Structure 1
Amino acid sequence: MKRQIAVIACLAAGLMMGACNRNDQQKEAQPNPVSDEVLAQIKALGFGTSDVQKRNGGYLVEGDILLTADQLNQKVGTPTLRIAKDEQYRTNNLVTALPRVVTIKVTDLGAAYIAGTDTAIARYNRLGLRLTFQRITSGDATITIKGFSEGVRSDGFITLGYAGFPTDDGNPYDTITMNTHSRAYGANPDILYVGSVIQHELGHCIGMRHTDYMRRTYSCKGDPVRNEGDGGVGAVHIDGTPTRPDAESWMLACSNGGNRTFNANDIIALNFLYQ
């Protein structure tokens, strides 16, 4: 998930006042170029090829989704699809072996990230799904939450966190990476805000795509990337979710700068997949 500093941060209480001045934004080094071959693989999986960033372990697409080299090489069958507008969408792979408890460990992050993780876990577990979450402090976890530090990019956006999609063996993606830079959450991160981003990234880990992946300008105001996919493999419409704009969905591509949780349609989508 990412946030536009120049617009959204000016509306969020407690964030740095200087963030509203676009000329004062920190300029980040351009990421390593991505080869045409990799871009073709990303497009074949149904993801957009604008603003792809090379990261440790893979390539970042749609602002906060990490595709690994193994995923790029997968040949996934195509189920019945529907061209995306603003509905809830999932990937082809989902978490299997239900009922199931997914364990989560937070490593080398501050108290706000630990409390934010507990907030996200509680929100999922209150839904009564057959997929539940539990934070552990020792031993191996199914999902590890760790940190990285990166300031505002030259386009005015900052990455708040990123994750990946379930593997083809039915396991959730195993890592959520959260931004610890002060421009992401401020010097004293708000627990509900951090928790909302972790909640969003957990959505990716269990197979949720962005609600507005075909029209990212819906939540990312001013984002030049208007279309993050071509209706190809990996964007399956979830029965029972609407075909009208859904401004409060927890899986919108960009943060609103504050607390955001499940709305009624999000709960329908999760119940359909994991009840």
Structure 2
Amino acid sequence: MKLNYLKVSALVLTTLMVLATSCSKDDVDNEAAQEVSSLPRDVLNKVRELDLNPEAFEVKHAVYPDGTKIPVVLTDDIAMEKSRFLKIPSDNNGLAKQYQTEFLIDTDVHEEVNIIVYTGPTIFDGDTPIVTGLSEAAQQGVRDAVENWNSVWGSRLVLRAEFTTATTFDPDFFETFIVVNSSLEGFGGFADFPDENGNPGNFVQISPNSSTFADRVPDAIEHLITHELGHAIGFRHTDWNSRQSCVDLGLEPEPSVEENPPARIFGTLPSIPGIIEQEDSIMNACFNADTTTGELNFFDENGLRSLYRGF
């Protein structure tokens, strides 16, 4: 992947199944699928239960500086904590499908969202690196990203970043942890979404290349982390019904529509392929490092005000 064509990831919670490739159970030979699939049996069974295609899924790990690994189920660039994935109800017709995530942060409980940024040395599992700290340039990208969201007038949401070399952390204090996940490739990352209890997304994971090249493309790393924090506070992709930003950059061959169209956030433009498209939205699925400013556009700001109105 060329450095100036960047594809960002989203860790989708209870709407994961509507974003994946659908596959009728009648079209899948379950016994054959079990033989060829590398998925754990419980994940494979859940994928079948949800009428999804097992070939589109894999299991990887989100990681923490203390060596903790959390299994996540991925399909393309969409991921979900395995334990949550296994709890998805088979009858999902009643779930909300929105630009925003199903759940938002409860700001009465979380007056500030505490973002812990790991800046320490590489942590190994035997001889295999699993997590490392953000570079100084990437740390600046976090500061810029936090400022992007905090500077929106009319929002009651407040983010606060703390930088640490400590490998252990107080689970009652931190809300969102940002690390470099050594297993990720290219320039990108993924992030957790707010949960059903009103907590912000638990983690943001970026790739080693994102951290290494941050000093060369400061606006791009600002864009990437602003985007991933956008997911952690409750945004979905702006171009959900076309992924046109990815097509324009040659990352995807043709437009695609995420099934079961979501309701847009009040105060933002609808996404109408070929008619209304926001090329500069921070929450588009893909972006160009050569042209991004790393800043929110007018409708990104309106979206935040709508979700977390402070007046």
Determine if the TM-score, normalized by the shorter chain, exceeds 0.5.
yes
Match of 1:223 among 244, 252, 255: 252
Q: Which residue of 2 aligns with 1:67?
A: 80
Partner letter of residue 146 of structure 1? V
The count of residues paired between Structure 1 and Structure 2 equals: 232
Q: 1:189 to 1:66 in 2, by over 3 A?
A: farther
Deviation at 1:225, TM superposition (A): 7.1
Which one scores higher on RCO, CA 8 angstroms, separation ≥ 6? 1
Q: Which residue of 1 aligns with 2:208?
A: 180
Distance 2:299 2:244 in 1: 20
Distance 1:228 1:42 in 2: 19
Q: 1:202 to 1:62 in 2, by over 3 A?
A: farther
Q: 1:186 to 1:80 in 2, by over 3 A?
A: closer
Structure 1: 5+ residue runs without aligned partners? 10-31, 83-88, 153-157
Deviation at 1:230, TM superposition (A): 1.0
Deviation at 1:62, TM superposition (A): 5.7
1:141-165 deviation per Cα after TM superposition (whole angstroms, max 9, x unaligned): 211100123576xxxxx35111121
Partner letter of residue 262 of structure 1? L
1:18-55 deviation per Cα after TM superposition (whole angstroms, max 9, x unaligned): xxxxxxxxxxxxxx8446534456778xxx98854422
> What SS class does the counterpart of residue 134 from structure 1 fall into?
strand
Match of 2:147 among 122, 147, 150: 122
Q: 1:144 to 1:92 in 2, by over 3 A?
A: same
Deviation at 1:79, TM superposition (A): 5.8
Q: Does 1:8 align with 2:5?
A: yes
Partner letter of residue 218 of structure 2? I
User: Percent of aligned pairs with the same residue?
Assistant: 23
Q: Which residue of 1 aligns with 2:280?
A: 248
Partner letter of residue 160 of structure 2? Q
Distance 1:59 1:225 in 2: 25
Q: 1:40 to 1:168 in 2, by over 3 A?
A: farther
Q: Which residue of 2 aligns with 1:54?
A: 59
Distance 1:265 1:101 in 2: 23
Q: 1:185 to 1:69 in 2, by over 3 A?
A: same
Q: Which residue of 2 aligns with 1:133?
A: 159
Q: 1:180 to 1:100 in 2, by over 3 A?
A: same
Partner letter of residue 106 of structure 1? V
> What SS class does the counterpart of residue 115 from structure 2 fall into?
strand
Q: 1:41 to 1:90 in 2, by over 3 A?
A: farther
Q: Which residue of 1 aligns with 2:45?
A: 37
Give the TM-score normalised by the residue count of structure 2: 0.64
**RMSD (CA atoms):** 3.2
Q: 1:40 to 1:248 in 2, by over 3 A?
A: farther
Q: Which residue of 2 aligns with 1:209?
A: 236
Q: Which residue of 1 aligns with 2:22?
A: none
